[in-house]
Amino acid sequence: MINHRGSEFVVILKEVLEGLKWSYQTMNDVLIFPASGSGGMETAVVNTLSPGDKVLVANIGNFGDRWVKICRAYGLNVIDLQFEWGKAADPKIVAEKLKEDKNREIKAVLFQQNETSTGVLNDVKALSGVIREHGALIIVDAVSGLLTTDLKTDEWGLDVVVSGSQKAFMIPPGLAMVSMSERAWKAYEKSKCPKFYWDIGIMKGFVDKGQTHTTPPISLYFGLHAAFKLLKDEGLENIFKRHHTLRSMVREGVKALGLKLLAEDEATASTAVTAIVPSSFDPEALRKTMRDEYGMVLAGGQGKMKGKIFRIGHLGYVDKSEILAAIGNLEIVLNKLGHKVELGKGVRAAQQVLLGG
């Protein structure tokens, strides 16, 4: 390890922060905390809001529930606007809710770019458009969405955007990144939520000197620094295209096997993860056989979807060959579990995506 208060770290920190601004498409400050994604979410809340503030959560799944829980833990007054799991937040419904708020009591609207528990992308551009008309702060959890599809922090006026190292940045968990617009910094000045470790103003004071507030996980900074070399070589558009292709391979592959997708709408289907609703087999038995016999880990359901779905992740350091293998393995395991599917049918559909249709 290097001295995190020494001259070498100053260079790594500067270059990593530049890489983050590039990923976020922003000129805003982006600060890094040693934390998982939820730490970034908590940072967003405690630095811009105060106990008693009214906030609106456009909630489309388990991580929407997390926004609600964090806000309530700090005594905020939460309107939990729930949408059906598997669907995106409807900007028209959010707009209606905001129109009801004649006295402009709602201080912030919080939502996910990508809801990992259901495999659904929100239309961040449309949502931010209606929220800007109202004037509330726009706080986006982009932990699993950032870099898998476009997110224009500055152009869309996003005030706080949270991301995490373990997703499309392709490195292990442990870094939470949080961007702050000028409006967010103004809100910080007024915010009365208690904070110390998550105080983004203290963090910025250190970062301006080329350091971090507390001891940083230096090895993860090295990893992120290396990841930006790969990501910048590839370019944002190609990164988005890569994720889009993997998503289409998975969706076409599982559809060809007659399986049902939780996110049926192609327009809002996640570029990070695909959730599948089994018909006649137990998703937990499928996951166990995939793991034990084929060394492939699929995710289960979360929250109220626990035991009801399985999910195939296709973000970050994952390749088209691995997706072909996953679909091939899935075909074998489904047959073993007594759910008969034609071998090769899913793989062929995924291959056809690569050949362009």
Ligand X SMILES: Cc1ncc(COP(=O)(O)O)c(C=O)c1O
Check binding of 223 to ligand X (CB under 6 A): no
> What is the nearest approach in angstroms of ligand X to the Cβ of residue 68?
13
63, 74, 83, 198: which one binds ligand X (CB under 6 A): 63
Check binding of 37 to ligand X (CB under 6 A): yes
Q: Which is nearer to ligand X, 59 or 114 (CB)?
A: 114
Alpha-carbon torsion, ordered 45, 120, 164, 29, to 10 deg: -60
Choices 34-42, 46-54, 99-107, 128-136 (CB under 6 A): range interacting with ligand X: 34-42
Q: Which is nearer to ligand X, 305 or 350 (CB)?
A: 305
Check binding of 143 to ligand X (CB under 6 A): yes
Three-state DSSP class for 325? helix
Choices 74-82, 136-144, 212-220, 261-269 (CB under 6 A): range interacting with ligand X: 136-144
Instruction: Give the DSSP per-residue string, 83-96.
Output: --TTS---HHHHHH
The span from the CA of 161 to the CA of 136, in Å, is: 15
Longest dimension (CA), the chain: 62
Query: Does residue 177 contact residue 221 with C-beta atoms inside 8 Å?
Result: no
Of all residues in the shown chain, the one whose CB is closest to ligand X is 37
Check binding of 112 to ligand X (CB under 6 A): yes
Choices 112-120, 185-193, 199-207, 285-293 (CB under 6 A): range interacting with ligand X: 112-120
The span from the CA of 93 to the CA of 90, in Å, is: 5
Q: How many residues are given for the chain?
A: 357
Q: Which is nearer to ligand X, 113 or 329 (CB)?
A: 113
Distances (CA, A) of 293 to 8, 213, 270, 281: 45, 45, 28, 17
- State the number of binding residues for ligand X (CB under 6 A): 11
The span from the CA of 35 to the CA of 19, in Å, is: 19
Contact residues toward ligand X (CB under 6 A) are 36-38, 63, 112, 114, 116, 141, 143-144, 164
